[in-house]
Amino acid sequence: MSKKKESEAEVAVDGQPITTGTSLCDTATAAIQNFAPINKIHQHLCAFHFYSDDMSRQVEAHHFCGHQNEEMRQCLIYDSPEKKSRLIGVEYIISENLYLTLPDEEKRLWHSHLYEVKSGLLFLPKVPSPIHRKDMETVCKTYGKVFHFWQVDKGHSLPLGIPQLMMAFTRDGQIYDHLQQSCAERMGIDYEEERKSREYMTGPEHGIHPLANGGGKGLHTLLREVPLNHHSPPPSATRASV
């Protein structure tokens, strides 16, 4: 299968093609409505994630991020940077200072970015080196929390199942060579060159927290059935008659 056909197969989604009527409606709403949250997106980060309970399931992840403030950015994650890409998850990125305020049980859900940055696996496509390195110096010290909703590695044509906690790589030898090579060819990145240029970068001031990255253990995301609370709403709740 050629690269073009392979790419097209990856973005196959169940459903009928968009009609002229829907396109006209989209054009009208785009001209009228405010998209302030989306307009805050200011950068594209490319990286890789694996399912927190199975490192053999690895996926390329394209993050489109915006800063909430100097210590937090939030990202929409797509399976590619192309127009027909699928929204597969979200990631929150926070500073070391914010991470250290989290309860211990919460800390396990977050991963460090030190190895991702220093290895070159996490990068800003097409951004000039001085700007690129400046942002990587910051990201190197942060932690991220990721959930994927669409298990594209299984070939699903719709987002099936429950959200899955994802993690990031922490040392050499974990990521599949073919996955890394494929991304390098398409995105025009030289990982070895990036690794050399980032040797001086440092991680969190207090080192990577021992509870980060699942505390070194796999974490399995489960959906558990519990009794539904049938209590009446509070008196102040608005009631509507139909």
Residue 15 lies in a domain: no
Q: How many CB atoms lie within 10 A of CB 235?
A: 6
In a domain, 162, yes or no: yes
The single-letter DSSP state of residue 16 is P
Q: What is the mean pLDDT of residues 210-224?
A: 95
- Specify the pLDDT at position 236: 65
CA distance 164 to 149: 6
The 8-class DSSP code of residue 62 comes to: E
Q: Which of 67, 71, 89, 80 is nearest to 166 (CA)?
A: 89
Encode pLDDT of 175-185 as tens digits.
999 999 999 99
Percent of the chain with pLDDT over 90: 76
Instruction: Let me know if residue 51 belongs to a domain.
Output: yes
86 in Cβ contact with 197 (< 8 Å): no
Tell me how far apart the alpha carbons of residues 138 and 204 are, in angstroms, rounded to a whole number: 10
Provide the mean pLDDT of the chain: 90
User: Each residue of 2-35: pLDDT tens digit?
Assistant: 333 334 345 578 888 878 887 878 788 788 888 8
Q: How many domains does the chain have?
A: 1
Q: Specify if 16 maps to a domain.
A: no
Is position 117 within any domain?
A: yes
pLDDT in tens, 87-106: 999 999 999 999 999 999 99
Residue 4 or 77, more confident: 77
Question: Closest by alpha carbon to 162, among 29, 68, 51?
Answer: 51
Residue 207 lies in a domain: yes
- Read off the tokens for 240: 């509507």
Domain contains 169: yes
Which structural domain range is residue 55 located in? 38-216
Any domain includes 21: no
* Distances in whole angstroms, Cα of residue 188 to Cα of each of 80, 154, 169, 219: 14, 26, 21, 33
